[in-house]
Structure 1
Amino acid sequence: MAGKCNCPCCPRTKEPKAVPLPSVTTLAPADHLWSTGKDKAVNLRMEGSGPGSETPMTIHQMFLETVESYGDHPALASKQEGQWVTVTWRQYYEQCRAAAKSFLKLGLERYHGVGILGFNSPEWFISDIGCIFAGGLATGIYTTNSPEACQYVAANCEASVLVVENHKQLVKILQVKDQLPHLKAIVQYKDELQPKLPNLYTWAEFMKLGEEVPDEQLDAVIGSLRANECCTLIYTSGTTGNPKGVMLSHDNLTWTANAAGVMSQLSHGEEVVVSYLPLSHVAAQVNDMWIGVRFAGTTYFAEPDALKGSLGTTLKEVRPTAFLGVPRVWEKMQEKMKAIGAKASPMRKRVADWAKSIGLQYNYSAMNEEHAVPWGFMLANNLVFKRVRSALGLDRCKACYTGAAPITKDTLEYFMSLNMPLLELYGMSESSGPHTISTSNSYRIMSCGKVMPGCKTKLDNPDQDGNGEICFWGRNVFMGYLNMPDKTEEALDQDGWLHSGDLGRHNQNNFLYITGRIKELIITAGGENIPPVPIEDAVKAETAIISNAMLIGDKLKFLSLLLTLKCVVDDNGEPTDELSPEAVAFCQQHGVTATKVSEILANKEPAIYKAIQEGMERVNAKATSNAQKIQKWVILEQDFSISGGELGPTMKLRRPVVVKMYQEKINKMYGVENQ
């Protein structure tokens, strides 16, 4: 049974204060749909009727509505000394007010940032929302950032306060503190303070700081908040140049949380999610925090080592009603399940294969809205599907989502065969997260769903096959990039449409398919445009030992590939030299005893190199032209990782970074002398 929090900073009995709110239609004066000044309001993309016409509201108004209806319902749950401890919506609200008062006490200025640097936790949420209540700009900073990258974000948002998780993150800030002229205080929310420094506070000290701040002072700030003003900054992890601060308004977040939840058919007071993806990323923030506030859901916080192995245990304990995984999370689950399946008895394997064929048949039928239930489905469900869901902790899960990076057809079909269709979402930081959503009764494999009601999509400059640049319109479209008018003008056209840089097409039923990314398109020396992802996915699907594949060939005479092999990841998320169980099994199937990546590379293991080459030939046989055939490939010494810099925070490939890192190997494949 979850315990109740009794710490001194968690008021338990106080009723929420009646706060003088502006009339719900009061918006700050504005002249434009966009702005690059943090204190400038924007016009909202309101519709005359229907889903885009709802009355705008601030974060505080949305939160207070939930507290009034669900005050005693659990809002947050986190592990303390091995036990789940819950905080109700009323307690959560009071803690956000207490944090807001402490920020005011520390001198948080209006429209200045509060940087939050740490793994997902109640303190993260309370710092974020407390900052917004106090009139600041909530700013997540990636835990993987270097001290210099932390300094850039904190300086760019003029952070008055930085909230850090532990000593490791504190050390980064202390290294750059002298380059942060607006910084007034640092709060560390976990572990003992090692250095006792002025203006450095524990979480308990911080929460007490504002006790003397009168309610009236905070209420005056809350009462001055406007729905069309900025409240949050999301920094895009730029592959080149400095990250851009995406300015999101109260309305961006409150409207999008409602629209996404309604489209996904969420029930008020019934939803349960596990928070583990980086909260500095818009997808996690909207999914874990804002939809939770709008629909009075309960957010359980995973352990900091979630992506290194503990997530499975948390899922089994929590049994969420919806689960969002980036493609790499689903791929890891798939690899693990395949490894377990490989050790099963021949009889069990036959049963599993039979059940999966039934599952795939059933889900394709459901996807095409035919709803034909194949013979044996109930038996397969009882023998296999239900057991798999229970083993994963997803037995209560009504929807399994994937987004933030491309996913392979192989992984999608694998989960469909287990009666767990993965529903793709699509959007970007600049669209406050989701723009198109797949739902359990409306999805197509390899499509990222249909546009949210109240939003619009247009395809700019379509080619003869209907592929054009995907452009967004709706109340989810951001305000602009902080202090970057030139970049804002690149993203938003004169009419206010957001240009995504992604290429896509619609099918006859208005499902959106992403077909490439303009900047990722490889234009060969012969002038042919080639989207790399389908070729990379095909190579990975053909050869089970390959972990990552990256296509090279921009402005070059032919295509080549950088490959990495599947390996074991250590406790810090770093790739090791040990081959993964699936890779070892692949080697054994080909009569090879190697267990390390280095062993395969040292001997250029003929059987493995031959198997990979045969996979390439199968992919090349399906190529639409000679220019799309892979001529050369090389295996790299280690897999891509976030810590290595090749992958972004959501495991998205950072192509320019990889090219730079492996330029020497690329030059060698093309016979170019290294300078």
Structure 2
Amino acid sequence: MEFPDQEQVDGLLENRVQESMADVQTDSEEHAAVGKKHIEEEFVGGSLAPAHSLWTTDARGSVRLRIEEGCPEEPITVHQMFKASVEKYGHMHALASKKNNKWEKITFLEYYQLCRRAAKSFIKLGLERFHGVAILGFNSAEWFFSAVGAIMAGGIMTGIYATNSPEACQYVASDSKANIIVVENQKQLDKILQIRDTLPHLKAIVQYSGQLQQKLSNLYSWEEFMELGLDVSEKQLDDISSSQRANQCCVLIYTSGTTGTPKGAMLSHDNITWTANHASRAGDMQPADTKQESLVSYLPLSHIAAQIYDLWTGIQWGELVYFAQPDALKGSLITTLREVCPTSHMGVPRVWEKMMEKIKQGISQSGYVKKKLVTWAMSVSLEANQKCMQKEEEKPLLLSLTDSLVLQKLRAELGLSCCQKFFSGAAPIGSETVQFFLGLNIRLYEAYGMSESTGPHFMSGPNVYKLPSCGKVVPGCRYKMANTDSEGTGEICFWGRNIFMGFLNMEDKTREALDEDGWLHSGDLGKIDEEGFLYITGRIKELIITAGGENVPPVPIEEAVKKELPIISNAMLIGDKRKFLSMILTLKCCSNAETMEPTEELSVEAVEFCQQQGSQATKVSDIIGGKDKEVLQAIQEGIDRVNSAATSNAQRIQKWTILLKDFSVSGGELGPTMKLRRPVVLEMYQTVIESLYQE
């Protein structure tokens, strides 16, 4: 792909942006002077499409926005948000891609122009209003151009997980009525070619990386695609963009299907633009005219967490986004982080765990003196950070010394030497991981939300931090706890401008998620303390109800086992409608660098655990089947310690077994964001589970 030089950037475009922004600024000033009632009246005739309900399941539908005193900002479309950013940050760098071992950067003005070119090409290919543009591949500048361009052209953008099977791709493309599918390479193209004949709405396929290996009708290289729409007029595109309304759908986020058929969560322009603005404020992200943030994009953009964090917040605040290599999660991420030195970084819990394992491995291979020094420095940091949780509290001098002499070097090994904000999301993070990073003087800020809440609804940040909570509700959003018990634990319910429009073509599922008053029911259990911090205690659907009627939340017990036993990778509690609880365990293993399949070889940490028990085991098969009595005895003792803290006998683990292979995305036990797919595991290991309950 060729990026235009700054001199080649169309002057006419710059004038158009200036004129448009003058209009937006005038509108803003007028709206600032009127009250909420008048704003709503004006929106009905102007910025918003007519709507009578808070939800819809129709891709062409519109919804009433939850505009109230806490969040009175004027609703804007994605296109309007981008134009405002070009006005402020136009000549600052926006995106950086590695080509021929060099980082190539483009500005926000160039970024905007390339999105417009993509939009015009989508129009030329016959993209119909409110039909899908599906994107299947790893993060790249072309992914961003396709996403924004699809919306500018009046389509609905949806990401497809790169790990999806052809059948899973077919479901999303068919459900979203995709007119165009953008694929990364031949591997992803092959999936679409297998299902092409089952997609009646499909008009074209575009491949954005690598040479086309075959000439097929309606298959285009990226270069060919970007040339297609050159004869589409600027006015035609502007007319389509300006006809869009903030309360109409522009993005589909498909749930990963951990509990059944994937559901397409419909997100409006206002969902995207409002959340990009407000959630990032809660995380203390800075606008580029104050201090430009930089980050590395590597998590799946089909998931709401990465999409909000990398793409939409990047546009809103003028961030510089570097694209990692496609093998980032196979090991190259840290190399990229070291080159880029981002100011902010987000990971799912498994990414933070992998970093923790890498540092632990480095420490274990160090000499005696260095090992002692690092262990001491980390204990100083952990203790100091646990004592002064609030930002305003002064940190002790000893921490400053150990940080500059020891810990800073460890953070630099991870590429986090310049990083000031560290976020974790998409799944609950274990306390062991949080404590380990506190030992590196890194506070992991946990965010909590759903696809249906456009990402974060509660957030931790530099000014809102308390362990082991996921922070406070994002300003402008609300929450309530439904069906609380005597201890104040109940189902967490959401309200705000970030709440989705509904599930595409699924009225029953939408009515399950949204109650009659429009509150989104999360399905998660939690409690709020007196300061407003949220603590997740479990998930309603994950609750195990034993044969004796005892309600058991599995996650706290599973986390306790992993904390007691550093050899354990995954622990899953079993016992629904059973007489007692049992548990299936997997051991920490090395992964195949190419396929990411877990191997039989134990990880460094697991081998260390075995050696501490007097065992020489290096493989899973050395341990299971009663072969390694020392290790099995140590695991039983760890389970016993967890059982000793159980609130009742019904919450004790009576039996357990170790599986030969660790869970993985490729194996199907974990979803794309490393979340445990409990129904899948129950089905896959049904025989193993039944054996635990045979007398």
- Within a 5 Å distance, the mapping from 1:129-208 to structure 2 comes to 129-208=148-227
- Trace 1:260-409 onto structure 2 (pairs within 5 A): 260-269=279-288, 270-367=292-389, 371=393, 373-374=395-396, 376-409=398-431
Root mean square deviation of aligned Cα = 1.7
Do 1:10 and 1:94's aligned partners in 2 also have CA atoms closer than 8 Å?
no
Shift of 1:599: 2.4
Deviation at 1:590, TM superposition (A): 2.0
Q: What's the counterpart of residue 75 of structure 1? A: 94
Deviations 1:152-199 (Å, cap 9, x if unpaired)?
100100000000000111111111111100000000011111121000
Residue identity in the other structure for 2:402: A
Separation of aligned partners in 1, 2:396 and 2:379 = 10
What CA distance in whole angstroms lies between the structure 2 residues aligned with 1:173 and 1:149? 10
Say whether the 8 Å CA contact 2:284–2:462 is kept in structure 1: no
For structure 1, which segment, 160-169 or 439-448, has the greater mean C-alpha deviation from structure 2 after superposition? 439-448
| Residue aligned with 1:353, SS | helix
Residue of structure 2 aligned with 1:626, choices 630, 649, 652 = 649
CA distance in 1, matches of 2:392, 2:118: 53
State the SS of the aligned residue for 1:390. helix
Q: 3-state DSSP class of the match of 2:75?
A: coil
1:639 corresponds to: 662
Deviation of 1:393 after TM superposition, in Å, equals 1.3
2:79 maps to which of 57, 60, 70: 60
**Percent identity over paired residues:** 59
Please tell me whether the aligned partners of residues 120 and 278 of structure 1 are also in contact (alpha carbons under 8 angstroms). Answer: yes
Q: Secondary structure at the match of 1:41?
A: coil
Alignment pair present for 1:518 and 2:515: no
- Partner residue in 1 for 2:136: 117
Q: Distance in 1 between matches of 2:223 and 2:503?
A: 35
Contact 1:640–1:647, Cα closer than 8 Å, also in 2: yes
| 1:559 counterpart letter in structure 2 | L
Deviation per residue, 1:220-275 (Å, 9 max, x gap): 10110111100000000112332100000000000000001222222211111110
Deviation sequence 1:134-164 (CA, Å, 0-9, x none):
0000010011111111011001000000000
TM-superposed CA distance for 1:65, in Å, is: 0.7
1:34 match: 55
Contact 2:381 2:439 in 1 (8 A): yes
CA distance in 2, matches of 1:442, 1:454: 15
Which aligned pairs between 1:345-494 and structure 2 lie closer than 5 A?
Answer: 345-367=367-389, 371=393, 373-374=395-396, 376-494=398-516
Matched AA of 1:240: T
2: CA distance between counterparts of 1:6 and 1:422?
36
SS in 1 for 2:217: coil
Equivalent residue in structure 1 for 2:272, among 253, 264, 277: 253
Which residue matches 1:212? 231
Q: Is the 8 A contact 2:253 2:266 kept in 1?
A: yes
CA drift at 1:201: 0.1
- Of the candidates 9, 13, 16, which is equivalent to residue 12 of structure 1? 9
The one-character-per-residue Cα deviations of 1:450-472 (angstroms, maximum 9, x if unpaired) are 00111001000100010000000
Greater mean deviation of Cα atoms: 376-385 or 601-610: 601-610
Aligned to 1:46: 67
Query: Residue 602 of structure 1: CA displacement?
Result: 5.2
CA contact (8 A) 2:445 2:470 kept: yes
Contact (CA 8 Å) 1:5, 1:85: kept in 2 or not?
no
Instruction: Output the amino acid matched with 2:584.
Output: L
**Greater displacement, 348-357 / 92-101:** 348-357
Deviations 1:325-349 (A, max 9, x none): 1111111111111111112223222
The offset of 1:408, in angstroms, is 1.2
Aligned to 2:106: 87
**Secondary structure, in 3 states, of the residue corresponding to 1:211?**
coil
Q: Which amino acid aligns with 2:281?
A: V
Mapped partners of 2:62, 2:395: distance in 1: 53
1:70 Cα deviation from its structure 2 partner: 1.0
Deviation per residue, 1:266-321 (Å, 9 max, x gap): 22111111101000000000000000000000110111111110000011111111
SS in 2 for 1:234: strand
Alpha-carbon spacing, 1:376–1:165, altered in 2? closer, same or farther (3 Å):
same
Determine the C-alpha separation between the residues in 2 that align with 1:577 and 1:81. Answer: 36
Would the alpha carbon gap of residues 543 and 10 (structure 1) be closer, same or farther in structure 2, given more than 3 Å must change?
Answer: farther
Cα distance in structure 2, aligned partners of 1:335 and 1:562: 22
Q: Would the aligned equivalents of 2:546 and 2:580 in 1 still touch at CA under 8 Å?
A: yes
Confirm or deny that 1:605 pairs with 2:624: no
**Where does residue 654 of structure 1 map in the other structure?**
677
Deviates more, 1:550-559 or 1:344-353: 344-353
Give secondary structure in 1 for the equivalent of 2:360: helix
Q: Give, in whole Å, the separation in 2 of the partners of 1:610 and 1:667.
A: 23
Q: Which consecutive unaligned segments of at least 5 residues does structure 2 have? A: 29-42
TM-score normalised over the length of structure 1: 0.96
CA contact (8 A) 2:3 2:106 kept: no
Contact residue 390 and residue 463 of structure 2 kept, 8 A? no
Report the AA paired with residue 118 of structure 1.
G
Assess if the C-alpha contact under 8 Å between 1:260 and 1:452 holds in 2: yes
What is the Cα deviation at residue 6 of structure 1?
Answer: 4.0
CA distance in 1, matches of 2:345, 2:390: 23
Q: Is the 8 A contact 2:391 2:462 kept in 1?
A: no
Unaligned regions of 5+ residues in structure 1, if any? none
2:602 to 545, 563, 579: 579
Is the counterpart of residue 535 in structure 1 residue 532 in structure 2? no
The one-letter amino acid paired with 1:178 is D
Alignment check: 8 A CA contact 2:422 2:445 kept: yes
Give the C-alpha shift of residue 69 in structure 1. Answer: 1.3
C-alpha spacing 1:333/1:516, structure 2 compared with 1 (3 Å)? same
Distance 1:392 1:83 in 2: 21
Residue matched to 2:255: 236
User: Is the 8 Å Cα contact of residues 117 and 141 (structure 1) preserved in structure 2?
Assistant: yes
Q: Aligned equivalents of 1:577 and 1:283: distance in 2?
A: 32
Q: Tell me the TM-score normalised to structure 2 length.
A: 0.94
Q: What's the CA shift for 1:373? A: 3.2
- Between 465-474 and 353-362, report the one with greater CA deviation: 353-362
C-alpha contact (below 8 Å) 1:5/1:87 kept by paired residues: no
| Residue 573 (structure 2) pairs with residue 551 (structure 1) | yes
Partner letter of residue 577 of structure 1?
E
Distance 2:269 2:595 in 1: 36
CA contact (8 A) 2:669 2:676 kept: yes
How far does residue 369 in structure 1 lie from its aligned partner after superposition? 6.4
Q: Distance in 2 between matches of 1:102 and 1:235?
A: 25
Mapped contact 1:11–1:91 kept (Cα < 8 A): no
Contact 2:580 2:653 in 1 (8 A): yes
Matched letter for residue 40 of structure 1 = G
CA contact (8 A) 1:113 1:136 kept: yes
Which whole-Å CA distance do the structure 2 matches of 1:598 and 1:162 have between them? Answer: 44
Compute the displacement of 1:360 (Å): 1.5
SS at match of 1:401: strand
Deviation at 1:396, TM superposition (A): 1.6
**Any conservation in 1 of the 2:4–2:110 contact (CA below 8 Å)?**
no
Q: Which amino acid aligns with 1:513?
A: Y
| CA distance, structure 1, for counterparts of residue 293 and residue 3 of structure 2 | 25
Q: In 1, Cα distance between the equivalents of 2:621 and 2:558? A: 23
Assess if the C-alpha contact under 8 Å between 1:358 and 1:374 holds in 2.
no
Deviation at 1:597, TM superposition (A): 1.5
